[in-house]
Chain A
Amino acid sequence: MKTNIKYSMKKYNISLTLLFLLLWGFSWAQETTKAVEKRESAVQLSFYKKADQTKTARVKVTAKNEHNKYMPVANAHVNVYALNNKAEELIGSGVTPVDGQVVIDLPKTLPLDADLKFTLIAKLENDLAFEDAKDQGSFREANLTVIVNPADTTRTVTVKATQTDKDGKEKPIANATINFYVQRFFGTMPAAEDKSATTDETGTGTFTLPRDIKGDTAGNIVIVAKIEDNDTYGNIDSKVAAPMGIQLAVDKNPFPRALWEPRAPAPLVITISIIFTCIWCIYFTLFYTIIKMSRDKNPPTPTGKPPYGLAYEEWVKE
Chain B
Amino acid sequence: MIDSETQELDREIETLREDCLRPTRHWSAVTIIWVIFLMLVAAWGFGVYIYQLRNGLGVTAMRNYVSWGLYISTFVFFIGISHSGTLVSAILRITKQEWRRPITRSAELLTFVSLCFGGIMPIIDLGRPDRILNLVMFGRIQSPLIWDIICILTYFTGSTVFLFLPMIPDLALCRDRLTDTKSLFGKFKKWLYTTMAMGWHGSAQQWHTLEKCMKVMTIIIIPIAVSVHTVVSYIFAMTLRAGWDSTVFGPYFVAGALYSGSAGVILGMAAFRKFYHLEKYITPRHFNLMGQIVLALTLIYAYLNLNEYWIPAYKMASTEGALLGDLFWGPYSRVFWTLQFGTVLLPIVVMATPIGRRILPLSITCIVIVIGAWIKRYIIVVPTLLHPFMPIQEVPADWATYFPNWVEWSVTMACLAGIFLVITLFAKMFPMMAVWEVAEGMELNHDKKIAYAQRKKREEALLETEKVVIG
Interface residues of A (CB under 8 A from B): 65, 67, 69, 71-74, 98-99, 259-261, 264-265, 268-269, 272, 276, 279-280, 282-283, 286-287, 289-301, 304-306, 308, 312, 315-316
Q: What's the least CB distance linking B67 to chain A, in Å?
A: 15
| With contact pairs A265-B142, A293-B209 given, residues A304 and B154 touching in the complex (Cβ less than 8 Å) | no
Contact sample, A vs B, 7 pairs, CB 8 Å cutoff: A98-B395, A264-B142, A286-B216, A289-B213, A293-B210, A294-B199, A298-B206
Q: CB distance B394 to A301 under 8 Å?
A: no
A301: chain B residues at CB < 8 Å are 202-204, 207
Q: What's the least CB distance linking B191 to chain A, in Å?
A: 15
B216, B224, B396: residue with the most chain A Cβ atoms closer than 10 Å: B396
How many residues of chain B get a CB closer than 8 Å to chain A's CBs? 40
Extra contacts besides A287-B161, A297-B203 (5): CB < 8 Å: A259-B143, A269-B141, A276-B150, A289-B209, A315-B204
Q: What's the least CB distance linking B420 to chain A, in Å?
A: 29
Q: CB distance B206 to A296 under 8 Å?
A: yes
A74, A295, A300, A315: residue with the most chain B Cβ atoms closer than 10 Å: A300
B202: chain A residues at CB < 8 Å are 300-301, 304-305
Q: What's the least CB distance linking A239 to chain B, in Å?
A: 25
A294: chain B residues at CB < 8 Å are 198-200
Q: What's the least CB distance linking B2 to chain A, in Å?
A: 14
| With contact pairs A71-B396, A99-B395, A264-B141 given, residues A298 and B158 touching in the complex (Cβ less than 8 Å) | no
Q: What's the least CB distance linking A160 to chain B, in Å?
A: 34
Chain B positions 384-417 with a Cβ under 8 Å from a chain A Cβ: 394-397
Q: What's the least CB distance linking A78 to chain B, in Å?
A: 17
Q: CB distance A279 to B220 under 8 Å?
A: yes
Q: CB distance B396 to A293 under 8 Å?
A: no
Q: B436 within 8 Å of A by Cβ?
A: yes
- C-alpha gap A201/B380 in the complex (Å): 61
Q: CB distance B142 to A260 under 8 Å?
A: yes
Q: CB distance B154 to A276 under 8 Å?
A: yes
Q: What's the least CB distance linking A96 to chain B, in Å?
A: 11
Q: What's the least CB distance linking B141 to chain A, in Å?
A: 5
- C-alpha gap A259/B142 in the complex (Å): 6
Q: What's the least CB distance linking B152 to chain A, in Å?
A: 12
> Please, which residue of chain B has its CB at the minimum distance from the CB of A301?
B204
> Please, which residue of chain B has its CB at the minimum distance from the CB of A287?
B161
Q: CB distance B436 to A305 under 8 Å?
A: yes
Q: CB distance A268 to B203 under 8 Å?
A: no
Q: What's the least CB distance linking B140 to chain A, in Å?
A: 7
Instruction: Return the 3 tightest CB-CB contacts between A and B, nearest first.
Output: A294-B198, A298-B203, A294-B199
Q: What's the least CB distance linking B453 to chain A, in Å?
A: 20
Chain B positions 120-165 with a Cβ under 8 Å from a chain A Cβ: 140-143, 147, 150, 154, 157-158, 161, 165
> Please, which residue of chain A has its CB at the minimum distance from the CB of B209?
A293
Q: CB distance A280 to B154 under 8 Å?
A: yes
- C-alpha gap A65/B165 in the complex (Å): 60
- C-alpha gap A298/B199 in the complex (Å): 11
Q: CB distance B199 to A98 under 8 Å?
A: no
Q: What's the least CB distance linking B413 to chain A, in Å?
A: 27
> Please, which residue of chain A has its CB at the minimum distance from the CB of B440?
A305
| With contact pairs A282-B220, A293-B209, A306-B204 given, residues A268 and B141 touching in the complex (Cβ less than 8 Å) | yes
Q: What's the least CB distance linking A100 to chain B, in Å?
A: 8
| Among candidates A265, A272, A290, residue contacting B213 with C-beta atoms closer than 8 Å | A290
A292: chain B residues at CB < 8 Å are 209
| Among candidates A65, A297, A306, residue contacting B397 with C-beta atoms closer than 8 Å | A65
> Please, which residue of chain B has its CB at the minimum distance from the CB of A312?
B208
A71: chain B residues at CB < 8 Å are 396-397
B150: chain A residues at CB < 8 Å are 272, 276
Q: CB distance B397 to A261 under 8 Å?
A: no
| Among candidates A65, A260, A304, A308, residue contacting B208 with C-beta atoms closer than 8 Å | A308
